[in-house]
């Protein structure tokens, strides 16, 4: 391999290490090896498909970092062992400037199905909206469906799920998935440069479902907006479905023509949020099942309690722990902590401890610490104990397992149950309880 290429990549990695979170960087960027450069395409080798698929989502950042090292415009391409030499298997990964042919089909990532999508409060509506698109009968219930939310929360997964489901159940329906960037590159290359506008137009206007991912890419690109506006109207008037994803709601797409913003907002707008604890646990359990690995709940709880905002990072943490487990022969909580140190710094975030919280709650309700830890289940003791469980879980990064240990060696499921019970009361606006909890919180922060 060209030595200079290696050097350039080392420098670019320094930029990326600053720009990305430690876990994304370590999981998806660090394992990549630059292997060749030709015609402005810099090819990287990823050790496996999981790394490839996730690294693909950082190609833009990689390209920018490389340009920061040497002023040449690279297109990054990432290969995994099983994709080498064969067509890359789904469109978001397809290097857009490579092929000269306009192909009319989409292939979908077979892992991104509705079945593999864990549904929780954070994504339930988005999931329902996407399943409504694949209903076999009648025209679209909502059109367009506009899904927005931060990176790594499952937007692309849901789009591929629509594609996979349709291919399996309604193969006559033509579903087209493209990233907005792909649409743009094809528009420039085929419609503008090669003057094959009719072909381009036919491709995007003759589909039953158009899935267009990361529409924010369209901001500030006027010509493309005009083209997409026309495509949108043709599909819409023919009763064909359009599903759009974005990193923000339509009204915050400031550099988009007003008429497009209005169109986007005219159907169903749903957001997809960071997953709650329960969903994070379910996703990790699902990953463990898919990988055929046996991982204790303490490890799952540790990861789910500490990686909170992004599912791509959750998967990254999981695969790091798995790799450590394979190397050391077992996956224990200590191994997981070792694997994720440098990523998870629980001590830094903590302003108080579960021990202090339990003490404050006990004093507030005039219950002794012994009683808090005891098996006494009378209401006067059980309720303060559950409130302590709730507060320990929401205020600190401690795991259910740990909170169980310091609350009289209780099982983690008991702590989880206590937490959920209080959370439900709060969600149901139990105003007495809410005001007590506010008082207790004030006392905790005064400690
Ligand atoms: P986005 O497009 O919103 O940036 P992705 O769809 O690429 O996010 O999701 C990132 C990763 O997280 C993918 O590997 C995806 O399969 C996984 N993922 C996201 N949401 C879920 C979920 N609810 N259940 C299971 N996996 C999920
Ligand atoms: Mg995406």
d(CA 2, CA 12): 16
For ligand 1, pick from 24, 155, 157 the residue to mutate: most ligand atoms within 8 Å of CB: 157
Measure 276 CA to ligand 1 centroid, in angstroms.
14
> What is the residue with the minimal CA distance to atom 23 of ligand 1?
118
Condensed to tens digits (0 to 9), the pLDDT of residues 247-263 reads 999 999 999 999 999 99
Closest CA to 390 of 371, 370, 414, 373: 414
Q: What pLDDT was estimated at residue 253?
A: 95
The residue that leads in pLDDT, 85 or 52, is 52
Measure 109 CA to ligand 2 centroid, in angstroms.
12
Q: What pLDDT was estimated at residue 102?
A: 59
Measure 256 CA to ligand 2 centroid, in angstroms.
20
Condensed to tens digits (0 to 9), the pLDDT of residues 376-432 reads 999 999 999 999 999 999 888 889 999 999 999 999 999 999 999 999 998 888 888
- In the chain, where are the structural domains located? 3-79, 98-271, 277-339, 354-445
Measure 388 CA to ligand 1 centroid, in angstroms.
33
**Which of 96-105, 159-168, 347-356 is least confident?**
96-105
Q: Output the CA angle 49-169-163, nearest 5 degrees.
A: 40
Q: What pLDDT was estimated at residue 89?
A: 33
Measure 313 CA to ligand 1 centroid, in angstroms.
10
Q: What pLDDT was estimated at residue 153?
A: 96
The residue that leads in pLDDT, 300 or 53, is 300
> What is the residue with the minimal CA distance to atom 19 of ligand 1?
154
> In 3-state terms, what secondary structure has residue 298?
helix
Identify the CATH assignment for 277-339 out of 1.10.287.3510, 1.10.1740.10, 3.40.50.300, 1.10.8.60.
1.10.8.60
Measure 214 CA to ligand 2 centroid, in angstroms.
7
Exposed, middle or buried by CB within 10 Å (0-12, 13-18, 19+), for 52? buried
Third-level CATH fold of 98-271 = Rossmann fold (3.40.50)
Q: Which atom of ligand 1 sits closest to the CA of residue 151? A: 4
Please name which ligand lies nearest the alpha carbon of 24.
1
Confidence of residue 198 (pLDDT cuts 50, 70, 90): very high
Q: What pLDDT was estimated at residue 41?
A: 82
Q: What is the CA 279 to chain-centroid distance, rounded?
A: 12
Mean pLDDT of 143-169: 96
- Does the pTM exceed 0.85? no
Contact 200, 231 (CB under 8 A): no
Q: Which atom of ligand 1 sits closest to the CA of residue 157? A: 6
Third-level CATH fold of 354-445 = Chromosomal Replication Initiator Protein Dnaa; Chain: A; (1.10.1750)
The CATH number that domain 3-79 falls under is 3.30.300.180
Please name which ligand lies nearest the alpha carbon of 53.
1
Measure 396 CA to ligand 1 centroid, in angstroms.
26
Confidence of residue 92 (pLDDT cuts 50, 70, 90): very low
Q: What pLDDT was estimated at residue 36?
A: 85
The answer to whether 98-271 and 277-339 have equal CATH topology is no
The H-or-E segment that residue 420 falls in is helix 412-427
pLDDT above 60: residue 348: no
Q: Locate 42 and state its tokens.
A: 């810099």
Contact 254, 223 (CB under 8 A): no
Query: What integer best gives the mean pLDDT of the chain?
Result: 88
Measure 249 CA to ligand 1 centroid, in angstroms.
19
Of the ranges 4-8, 138-142, 186-190, which is most confident? 186-190
The answer for residues whose C-beta is within 8 angstroms of residue 393's C-beta and 6 or more apart is 277, 400, 403, 415, 419
Mean pLDDT of 73-91: 62
For ligand 1, pick from 154, 179, 315 the residue to mutate: most ligand atoms within 8 Å of CB: 154
For ligand 1, pick from 312, 313, 315, 316 the residue to mutate: most ligand atoms within 8 Å of CB: 312
Query: According to DSSP H, which parts of 170-214 are helical?
Result: 180-186, 197-205
The answer for residues whose C-beta is within 8 angstroms of residue 207's C-beta and 6 or more apart is 174, 175, 176, 235, 240
Mean pLDDT of 109-113: 90
Of the ranges 26-30, 38-42, 299-303, 319-323, which is most confident? 299-303
Pairing of the two strands 41-45 and 33-38: antiparallel
Q: Which atom of ligand 1 sits closest to the CA of residue 153? A: 3
Rg (CA), the chain: 25
Compute φ and ψ for 412, nearest 5 degrees. Answer: -60, -30
Ligand 1, residues at Cβ distance < 6 Å = 112, 116-118, 123, 151-157, 283, 311-312, 315
Q: Which atom of ligand 1 sits closest to the CA of residue 272? A: 3
> What is the residue with the minimal CA distance to atom 5 of ligand 1?
154
Measure 436 CA to ligand 2 centroid, in angstroms.
42
């Amino acid at each position: 391999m060209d030595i200079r290429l290696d050097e350039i990549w080392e420098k670019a990695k320094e930029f990326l290490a600053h720009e990305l979170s430690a876990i994304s960087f370590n999981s998806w960027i660090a394992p990549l090896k630059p292997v060749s450069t030709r015609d402005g395409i810099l090819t990287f080798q990823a050790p496996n498909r999981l790394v490839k698929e996730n690294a693909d989502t950082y190609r833009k950042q990689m390209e920018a970092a490389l340009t920061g090292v040497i002023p040449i415009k690279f297109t990054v391409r990432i290969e995994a062992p099983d994709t080498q030499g064969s067509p890359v298997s789904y469109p978001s990964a397809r290097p857009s400037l490579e092929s000269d042919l306009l192909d009319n089909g989409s292939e979908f990532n077979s892992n991104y199905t509705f079945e593999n999508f864990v549904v929780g409060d954070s994504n339930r509506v988005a999931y329902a909206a996407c399943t409504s698109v694949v209903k076999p009968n009648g025209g679209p219930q909502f059109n367009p469906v506009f899904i927005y939310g931060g990176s790594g929360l499952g937007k692309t997964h849901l789009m591929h799920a629509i594609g996979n489901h349709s291919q399996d159940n309604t193969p006559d329906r033509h579903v087209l998935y493209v990233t907005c960037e792909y649409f743009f590159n094809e528009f420039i290359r085929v419609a503008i440069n090669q003057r094959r506008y009719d072909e381009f137009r036919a491709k995007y206007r003759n589909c039953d479902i158009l899935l267009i991912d990361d529409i924010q890419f369209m901001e500030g690109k006027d010509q493309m907006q005009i083209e997409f506006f026309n495509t949108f109207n043709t599909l819409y008037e023919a009763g064909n479905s359009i599903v759009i994803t974005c990193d923000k709601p339509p009204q915050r797409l400031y550099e988009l023509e007003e008429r497009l913003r209005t169109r986007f907002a005219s159907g169903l707008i749903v957001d997809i949020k960071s997953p709650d604890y329960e969903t994070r646990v379910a996703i990790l359990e699902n990953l463990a099942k898919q990988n055929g690995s046996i991982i204790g709940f303490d490890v799952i709880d540790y990861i789910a309690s500490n990686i909170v905002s992004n599912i791509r990072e959750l998967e990254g943490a999981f695969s790091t722990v798995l790799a450590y487990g394979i190397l050391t022969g077992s996956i224990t909580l200590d191994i997981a902590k070792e694997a994720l140190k440098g990523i998870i710094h629980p001590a830094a975030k903590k302003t108080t401890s579960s021990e202090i919280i339990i003490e404050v709650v006990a004093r507030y309700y005039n219950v002794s610490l012994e009683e808090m830890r005891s098996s006494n289940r009378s209401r006067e003791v059980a309720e303060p104990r559950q409130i302590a469980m709730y507060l320990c879980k929401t205020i600190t990064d401690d795991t259910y397992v740990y909170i169980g240990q310091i609350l009289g060696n209780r099982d983690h499921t008991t702590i989880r149950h206590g937490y959920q019970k209080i959370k439900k009361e709060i969600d149901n606006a139990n105003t007495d309880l809410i005001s007590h909890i506010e008082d207790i919180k004030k006392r905790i922060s005064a400690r």
